[in-house]
């Protein structure tokens, strides 16, 4: 893939991935064939800020965890009311990083 497309993708999507993984993503994109670029732009990434808002609003119901594919913890949070609010408050501080890790895993599976 050409450097201009890689730069454009990295600028547009850097907030979706962990900062420490950006160089690894760039290296993988450099080896990506040109015909896979359309598939790359079709990957639906979750916005960490939106997930934080969802966690604040519906975190005690486990909605945030269900959206990230963590159904086990989502069920626990749903049945216990966010473990009486403790898990909900913990997720307010960690959901952005979990979302970025989720996006990174989704990207690496697609490449």
Provide the domain limits for residue 105: 3-110
Query: Shortest CA distance to 83 belongs to which of 107, 105, 65, 102?
Result: 65
pLDDT at 83: 77
| Mean pLDDT per 10-residue section of the chain, whose length is 111 residues | 82 90 88 81 89 89 89 89 83 92 90 77
pLDDT at 17: 93
Helix residue ranges, H only, 1-110:
3-13, 22-30, 37-41, 48-58, 63-67, 71-84, 86-110
How many Cβ atoms are within 10 Å of 92's Cβ, its own excluded?
14
Residue whose tokens read 């965890």: 65
Query: Shortest CA distance to 76 belongs to which of 4, 2, 86?
Result: 86
Average pLDDT of the chain is 87
Domains: count for the chain: 1
Residue whose tokens read 């749903």: 78
| pLDDT tens digits, one per residue of 81-98 | 877 878 888 889 999 999
- 32: exposed, middle or buried (C-beta count within 10 Å: 0-12, 13-18, 19+)? middle
């Amino acid at each position: 893939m050409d450097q201009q497309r890689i730069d454009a993708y990295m600028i547009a999507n850097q907030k979706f991935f962990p900062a420490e993984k950006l160089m690894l993503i760039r290296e993988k994109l450099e080896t990506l064939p040109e015909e896979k670029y359309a598939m790359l732009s079709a990957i639906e990434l979750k916005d960490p800020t939106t997930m934080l808002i969802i966690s604040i609003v519906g975190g005690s119901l486990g909605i945030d965890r269900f959206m990230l594919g963590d159904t086990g913890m989502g069920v626990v949070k749903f049945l216990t009311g966010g473990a009486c609010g403790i898990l909900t408050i913990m997720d307010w501080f960690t959901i952005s990083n979990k979302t970025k890790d989720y996006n990174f895993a989704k990207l690496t599976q697609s490449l």
